[in-house]
Structure 1
Amino acid sequence: MQANNAVPTIKRRLTSMVYEILLAFAALFLPFLVFEIVVKASHTSQVEHLRQALAFLILGIYFVHQWTRKGQTLAMQTWRIKVVQPGLERLPMRTALIRYLAAWLWVLPGIVVAYAADLSNKHKLYAIFASVIVWSLTAFLDKDRQFLHDRIAGTRLVQLPKPEKKGAKAA
């Protein structure tokens, strides 16, 4: 299936991201289960930092692997979205790593504000949600409607065509 130049709508990309969050929880489940058993569900400051680092690492492995393998995560496959780097058949590891790190800009400003202002847990979530909303608006600043992390990484999201129906091939 070849990518075309059509850009998926912002709504489609954000919907795919919501699905991606659900899949991320699934990807984190087993590593976190093992981690919690090993640390005996401790909640010391050091263990909390290790927990965050584990999430960052596991998610990085998942996204970078999927993007370099075929340019799509499971959610992107469902919504027929593919990440490409113009002129290349596959996304290089370095580019996928840059894209992964740059994608943290969606939540990083909210995290910084939440901790700098010493917000309650509920208000931390609001700050992160506000950060996501603001970063999603960066697509409107781009002539091709690409998100800022794609512009930083030199990648593009493209909309793949609907697959042909099986009955149509026989005709």
Structure 2
Amino acid sequence: MTATTMNVICPLWRRWIALVYDLVAVLAIVMVVGLICQLATGGRLITAGAQVHIAWWYQPLQGIVVATYFVLSWLRGGQTLGMRSWRIRVTAGDGDPLSLRQAMIRVLVASLPLLLLLLAPAFGLNVALWTLAAGWIVWLLAAQFVPRRRTVYDLAAGTEIRRIG
């Protein structure tokens, strides 16, 4: 790849739209994994009685599957489905492809706001979800104020998003 095909830092609006595309892909992945798990457990994955109970392994499995989607996408060409559609690519700071270490750091730091869901028992699910949304917005809005438009997880992993083509 020549320097001229990938030398432009991606504008934030393009990143946000690609993220929306990826959210649709993640929803589809989560639904398919949920269906497979429901079929594998004979419909006992989620039980409802006096209280709803979800199998202890289900949410960690979903997290692993979603993280794997992002890590593999970044390692195999630097693009998720949304990034491919909007012609952007994640690279190391020097323009090289991501290492496994960078991809893992990126996905782990990007998912840190999920810990805010632990607020749900104390404050309710509604508060926890709004707090989660605020956490991710802060993670993304950092790109508005730092050089080369890097988010918190880009800074942690030493990566950046570039426009291609």
TM range (shorter): 0.7 to 0.9
CA contact (8 A) 2:117 2:125 kept: no
Q: Does 1:17 align with 2:29?
A: no
Structure 2's unaligned 5+ residue stretches are: none
So what's the TM-score if we normalise by structure 2?
0.83
> How far 1:5 sits from its partner (Å)?
2.0
More strand by share: 2
Range with bigger deviation, 119-128 or 139-148: 119-128
Change (3 A) 1:87 1:136: closer
So what's the TM-score if we normalise by structure 1?
0.80
CA contact (8 A) 2:142 2:152 kept: yes
Structure 1's unaligned 5+ residue stretches are: 162-171
2:67 to 60, 65, 72: 60
SS of the equivalent of 2:74 reads helix
SS of the equivalent of 2:7 reads coil
> How far 1:94 sits from its partner (Å)?
1.8
> How far 1:30 sits from its partner (Å)?
2.1
Q: Tell me how large the CA RMSD over aligned residues is.
A: 2.1
1:13-162 counterparts in 2 under 5 A?
Answer: 13-39=15-41, 40-43=44-47, 47=55, 49-87=56-94, 89-105=96-112, 107-108=113-114, 110-112=116-118, 114-115=119-120, 118-161=122-165
Change (3 A) 1:126 1:86: closer
